[in-house]
């Protein structure tokens, strides 16, 4: 067994060295157990949020990349079409597409496959809509739709790879943190899932050789 093959032991009171080729993030899990008051909205003209019936995996993957590549979203990019379709075309999963004047501007995915729960599995805007106020429009309507299904709770998670302000946005929307975790994965840029220049706020540490 080489040093890079050895199990990684997390130091709970200090630094934990990562092998080259890995990236780490702190993940915060948040939830709400009752419908919150909506966030004040601004600049909502031309915005719509509608469910996409039976989303095509190729279309979804392209939107997923547009929205999330700068924030190290990669999980859906390594799935086959069949694996992805099994999720996004599931009757308990809703892909809600945000449009601005008819143009794709972002999306929220509501995952209700766990009985009594709705997860905001993915929440994001295309780059030129970030900071426009469209996120408030989108989250208000998505949460209202989620609570129409009368779940026990609605939950979401964010991490330190996400855009600055994401955690504060969820807190303002009515979520409260209940757990955190350290996530360590192979750098998806080195595997070719994301462009090498993606997520410049997360340094690439290449293996030697």
Residue 61 sits in a domain of what CATH number? 3.40.630.30
Distance separating alpha carbons of residues 206 and 209, to the nearest angstrom: 9
With beta carbons less than 8 A apart as the criterion, state whether 65 and 188 touch: no
What is the total count of domains within the chain?
Answer: 1
Q: Residue 171: its pLDDT value, please?
A: 97
Residue 104, in any domain of the structure: yes
Residue 58, in any domain of the structure: yes
Q: Residue 3: its pLDDT value, please?
A: 44
Q: Residue 164: its pLDDT value, please?
A: 85
Q: Render each residue's pLDDT in the chain as its tens digit; 209 residues.
A: 344 455 667 888 899 899 999 999 999 999 999 999 999 998 788 999 999 999 999 999 999 999 999 999 999 999 999 999 999 999 999 999 999 999 999 999 999 999 999 999 999 999 999 989 999 999 999 999 999 999 999 999 999 999 889 999 999 999 999 999 999 999 999 999 999 999 999 999 998 86
Residue 152, in any domain of the structure: yes
Q: Residue 43: its pLDDT value, please?
A: 74
Residue 135, in any domain of the structure: yes
Q: Residue 207: its pLDDT value, please?
A: 87
- In which domain, by residue range, is 144 found? 22-36+43-186
Predicted TM-score of the model (pTM) = 0.92
């Amino acid at each position: 067994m080489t040093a890079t093959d050895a199990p990684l032991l997390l130091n709970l009171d200090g630094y934990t060295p990562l092998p080259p080729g890995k990236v780490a993030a702190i993940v915060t899990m948040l939830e709400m157990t009752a419908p919150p008051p909506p966030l004040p909205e601004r600049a909502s003209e031309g915005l719509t949020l509608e469910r996409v019936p039976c989303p095509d995996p190729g279309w979804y993957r392209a939107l997923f990349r547009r929205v999330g590549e700068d924030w190290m979203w990669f999980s859906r990019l390594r799935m086959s079409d069949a694996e992805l379709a099994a999720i996004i075309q599931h009757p308990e999963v809703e892909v809600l597409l945000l449009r601005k004047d008819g143009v794709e501007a972002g999306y929220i995915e509501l995952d209700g496959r766990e009985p009594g729960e709705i997860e905001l599995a993915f929440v994001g805007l295309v780059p030129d809509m970030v900071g426009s106020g469209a996120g408030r429009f989108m989250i208000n309507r998505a949460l209202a739709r989620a609570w129409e299904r009368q779940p026990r709770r609605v939950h979401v998670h964010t991490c330190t790879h996400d855009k600055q302000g994401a955690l504060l946005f969820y807190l303002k929307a009515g979520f409260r943190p209940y757990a955190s975790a350290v996530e360590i994965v192979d750098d998806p840029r080195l595997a070719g899932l994301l462009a090498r220049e993606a997520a410049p706020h997360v340094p690439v540490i290449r293996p030697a050789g």
